[in-house]
Amino acid sequence: MAGDGNSLAQVLRNLISNIGWRAHGPTDLEIAITPIDDRVTCRLTDATDTLLPGDLPTLFDLPAVPPRPGLTSPGLAMYVAGQLIRAMRGDTWARRDGRGRVEIGFSLPRYEAA
């Protein structure tokens, strides 16, 4: 992957801790890193179902969701992660996979080590 190592580590910490924070306990999390053409993708698949469907399109946006009693809203960490990925010429997404699990992911440009 092309990008700053410290920023990439921060992104992964933010994504993993945010999933754990929303679950309020054990999580069922799968992490996969896959090279695809000129990019490398990282997918975090969460079967804990901690996000509302309306949260997915705006997960990496600056939080504008009012507090929801009894529910945990996506936090500022996701916004920071998205900004770091975009600064490294990457893309982010949050969607449901074919099995109904939440997939939170990002891709960065791929390069060959010298």
Q: Report whether 33 contacts 15 (CB < 8 A).
A: no
Extents of the domains making up the chain: 5-109
* Domain 5-109, CATH: 3.30.565.10
Most confident of the ranges 19-23, 36-40, 109-113 = 36-40
pLDDT in tens, 95-104: 998 888 889 9
Query: Residue range 59-68: average pLDDT?
Result: 73
Query: Residue range 9-27: average pLDDT?
Result: 84
- Give the global pTM: 0.82
